[in-house]
Amino acid sequence: MAFYRPDPEMASRLETLMDELSADGRPGLRNSLAVTWIRYEDQRPEAGQGLGAGWNQDRLLYPASVVKLFYAVAAERWLQQDLIPDGEELQRALRDMIGDSSNDATGLVMDLLTGTCSGPALQENAWHLWQRQRQLVNEWLASLAWPELEGVNCCQKTWGDGPYGREKLFYGADNSNRNALSTQATARMLEAVMTGAVVSPPACRRLRELLDRSLDPEQRRADPENQVDGFLGEGLIEGACLWSKAGWMSQARHDAAWWQHGDQPPMLLVAFSSGPDRARDEQLMPALARALCVFQPSEGV
């Protein structure tokens, strides 16, 4: 059972939107797009109170930088259990990992979470221990016992040019061990952060501060990698507040967003689009958000 209440009207709107977006010069979109869409009826909802619909939402896909959301939550969990030391460098890395999507910062966070580091190939026991340590985030995710997290993989750093040495070996043949997330797994984690349902309430507040995005046009022009333009935030109604984490590389353009406009209840949308055509498509994510953010259920629904 989904962590939200399935809404047939939302499912119908999502189905229609797939046709509309496909007809706009996007052949194969239905197979290259995954979506989890949730709306809430209260201004400050609790986890599990949303109504929603999905499209390919259980499909495990390479998440690109969206995985950094999970690493940030894991860091707060480790801090809560005194498993890693807090400090300015960790806080700077968390800010840069989420705010600027820095791969270098992500490397430091992953090293701290798992007690590992990159380098040349290791041998025998040292190699087995290194691989075991790199599964610590996955083990924590499994301990949450969320059905949406079944099969996910969050054990790799993120890269610009790609992994080398032991990191390359850890990816496995044909990259079989690369990170993998679904939109429903990502949506549940983002909802948990936004509603204070994972780690402590103060930790969730800190995570929300990291995820906060400015929709101000001047600020966006000053930061070409703002994670708004070309993503879901670009399609939102003027005056909306946005919390999000995007991911983009040559084969993917993803976004996970929670937004609220004025005193209206919030909405959550996670969209993963895969393939080189989708990665280059700067209009798909804004179009998706633009169409869904104005959704109003029929009277009595």
What pLDDT, in 10s, does the model give residues 244-256? 999 999 999 999 9
Give Rg (Cα) of the chain: 19
Half-sphere exposure of 111 (CA within 13 A, CB side): 13
Q: What pLDDT is stored for residue 114 in this prediction?
A: 98
Report phi then psi at 30, rounded to 5.
Answer: -60, -30
**Relative orientation angle of helices 103-114 and 67-80, to the nearest 10 degrees:** 40
Separation between Cα atoms, residue 5 and residue 48, nearest integer Å: 8
Report phi then psi at 88, rounded to 5.
Answer: -60, -40
In the predicted model, is pLDDT for residue 14 greater than 80? yes
Q: What is the mean pLDDT of the chain?
A: 96
Contact 271, 290 (CB under 8 A): no
Give the Cα-Cα-Cα angle 122, 131, 136 (nearest 5 degrees). Answer: 145
Q: What pLDDT is stored for residue 56 in this prediction?
A: 98
Structure confidence by residue, pLDDT tens digits, 15-56: 999 999 999 899 999 999 999 999 999 999 999 999 999 999
In the predicted model, is pLDDT for residue 300 greater than 80? no
Structure confidence by residue, pLDDT tens digits, 95-153: 999 999 999 999 999 999 999 999 999 999 999 999 999 999 999 999 999 999 999 99
In the predicted model, is pLDDT for residue 215 greater than 60? yes
pTM of the model as a whole: 0.97
Res. 86 pLDDT band, cuts 50 70 90? very high
Q: Quick one: 48 exposed, middle or buried, by C-beta within 10 A (0-12, 13-18, 19+)?
A: middle
Q: Quick one: 291 exposed, middle or buried, by C-beta within 10 A (0-12, 13-18, 19+)?
A: middle
Q: What pLDDT is stored for residue 238 in this prediction?
A: 87
Helix-, strand-, coil-residue percentages of the chain, each rounded to 5: 45, 15, 40
SS3 of residue 222 by DSSP: helix
